[in-house]
Amino acid sequence: MTNGAVPLTQSIAWKALLEHYEAVKGLHMRDLFAKDPGRGARLVCEAQGIYLDYSKNRLTDDTMRLLLDLADAAGLRVAIDAMFRGEKLNVTEHRAVLHVALRAPAGAAIRVDGENVVPKVQAVIEKMAGFANLVRSGQWKGHTGKRIRTVVNIGIGGSDLGPVMAYEALRAYSDRALTVRFVSNVDATDIAESTRDLDPAETLFLICSKTFTTQETLTNAQTARAWCLQALKNDAAVARHFVAVSTNAGEVEKFGIDPANMFEFWDWVGGRYSLPSAIGLSLMVAIGPERFREMLAGYHAMDEHFRTAPFDKNLPVLLGLIGLWYGNFFGAESHAILPYDHYLGRLSAYLQQLDMESNGKRVDRGGSVVNYQTGPVIWGQPGTNGQHAFYQLIHQGTKLIPCDFIGFCRSLNPMGQHHDLLASNLFAQTEALAFGKTAAEVEAEGVTPALVSHRTFPGNHPTNTILVEELTPEMLGKLIALYEHKVFVQGTVWRINSFDQWGVELGKVLAKRITPELTSGTDPDLRHDSSTNELIRRYRRFRRMG
Ligand code: F6P
């Protein structure tokens, strides 16, 4: 799939980009736009209702050609086909990578080890729909016969970030008679604050965990169980107030949840790719099965676009290659995601896990340490709030931070001038970042000489603008799939496995060793480093007992 014989940085395509970088690194977007009036209309890609303007980047047509050559040389086409065919691309866990099967239409055939998985995916969606309708209609009663008013999703990482992000994003489409809350942190404050005003008789817990062994989730689930049973005083209440979403039926049963109340998914779905699986159950309860299916259709439309569009008109490919241009050649270390829509307040956090857990890798698929940058730090906040917090550093700091601006032409809450003000801020920011303000322009405004350098904006800060008509469930599915596949593009070029996450293991193992050292009645024989030993001793001195 990749030309493993030649190190990536020695490949013809990489070296050509390096040489090209030396030639274009000094170009300023001011000049690129001035010399080429058609640039803003040409360096765009429109597909699936998404308009991507990538003209405000430090690149030329030649850059794009060379980046596309790199994608070809990386075997991207072969890799895409292999993923959609169900090949075991997750080589360290020997698993297929088939989140695309979760949104394939009924009737499609996608095979894992010879089995067409689409019928079982569809069966789970049907089961979810039946359950969601019962809860939404009030037919699903709690133990005392009351209807459910609040659904609490307990999960962490991929079993939390996707559902909470999408629930917030699609708030406008949700049933306001029901509230969904999300508990993830093992810090008791999370569950305590999330349940303190709730009536257990009207509360339903969805325990979401791919493995059903995650310490945080199981601890929160036990606490929720105790909270519920303390009020309802009957173990039989668990069946009406607890539902599980997992790949691990055995552990679900051990916890005491009836397997009939379990919604299944499979090991070929990565946690951070699991929102369109049963992990999205809380979202389906909130927005209803029909809207959830619209979201799946959006995902699928983007999957098909990614699978079939030529690379120079392929949204995930373009976003992936442009990101790589800055990370590998300009040395950019982070990438900001800036949605201009309040409903997308959790999008950056969601994409943070998607991207950083996938491409935060230091060895290639064969296990050799790489000598080039892989995944960037992903971060961001919705506009316009971010403008009054961290944009200063992007405009005038010393770091190069490529940004994705995501905006909508219509608001779901059209009120007065709000939306036009929001949109004008988005456009103004990308304009200011690209073109800045020269010292001459500042001087011409009559600014005192001592302040000229302070008030000069260098510009040449790269941005992509993703402009869409309106935020709908379908569009949300498209946007998420766009970023999923962008991550795939980059991981493929970097020759890494984007689908494992061994890096989170060591901390988990060490925490398990430390817990008894914090709680034991007698002084433990501490054998950590001197810093960790001292911290543990101090904690033991001041911790509250019991
Ligand atoms: O943080 C590691 C991780 O394994 C993530 O990849 C995953 O999304 C999260 O933990 C939760 O795992 P689970 O769904 O198995 O509880």
Instruction: For residue 464, give both structure tokens.
Output: 């992509």
Question: Does 252 score more than 70 pLDDT?
Answer: yes
Q: Is the pLDDT of residue 546 over 90?
A: no
| Active-site hit among 357, 474, 484, 517 | 357
pLDDT tens-digit series, residues 200-230? 999 999 999 999 999 999 999 999 999 999 9
- Return d(Cα 118, Cα 110) in angstroms, integer: 6
Among candidates 56, 77, 18, 72, which has minimal Cα distance to 322? 56
| Ligand 1, atom 5: closest residue by C-alpha | 157
Lowest pLDDT segment from 28-42, 55-69, 250-264, 398-412: 250-264
Check pocket membership of 209 for ligand 1, CB cut-off 6 A. Answer: yes
| CA pair distance 498, 445, nearest whole angstrom | 51
pLDDT of residue 359: 98
Question: Helix or strand or coil: residue 308?
Answer: helix
418 is catalytic: no
Residue 169 in contact with residue 476, Cβ under 8 Å?
A: yes
- pLDDT at residue 5 in the model: 79
Residue 216 · residue 271 · CB < 8 Å: no
How do 334-339 and 262-264 pair as beta strands?
A: unpaired
Long-range CB pairs of 1-4, under 8 A, 24+ apart, other chains included: 1/75, 1/78, 1/79, 1/82, 1/492, 2/74, 2/75, 2/79, 2/365, 2/492, 2/495, 3/73, 3/74, 3/75, 4/366, 4/495
Please name the residue whose Cα sits nearest to atom 2 of ligand 1: 504
Cα(470) to centroid of ligand 1, in Å? 32
- 411, pLDDT greater than 50: yes
357 within ligand 1 shell (Cβ under 6 A): yes
> How many angstroms does the Cα of residue 151 sit away from the middle of ligand 1?
21
pLDDT, residue 545, reads 72
**133-158: per-residue pLDDT in tens?**
999 999 999 999 999 999 999 999 99
Q: Which of 399, 418, 508, 512 is catalytic?
A: 508
Distance 287 CA to ligand 1 centre (A): 25
Q: What is the mean pLDDT of residues 241-267?
A: 95
Kindly state the tokens that stand for 247: 């790949």
Mean pLDDT across the stretch 235-245? Answer: 96
> Is 484 tagged catalytic?
no
Residue 522, SS3?
Answer: coil
Strand order in the sheet with 150-154: 179-183, 150-154, 203-208, 242-246, 262-264
The response to whether residue 354 sits with its C-beta less than 6 Å from ligand 1 reads: no
158 CA: nearest ligand 1 atom = 8
**What is the pLDDT at residue 4?**
53
| Whether residue 388 lies in the annotated active site | yes
- Mind listing the pLDDT tens digit for each residue in 478-505? 999 999 999 999 999 999 999 999 999 8
- What number is the average pLDDT over the span 274-284? 98
Q: Using a 6 Å cutoff on CB, does residue 210 contact ligand 1?
A: yes
Chain segment 296-310, per-residue pLDDT in tens: 999 999 999 999 999
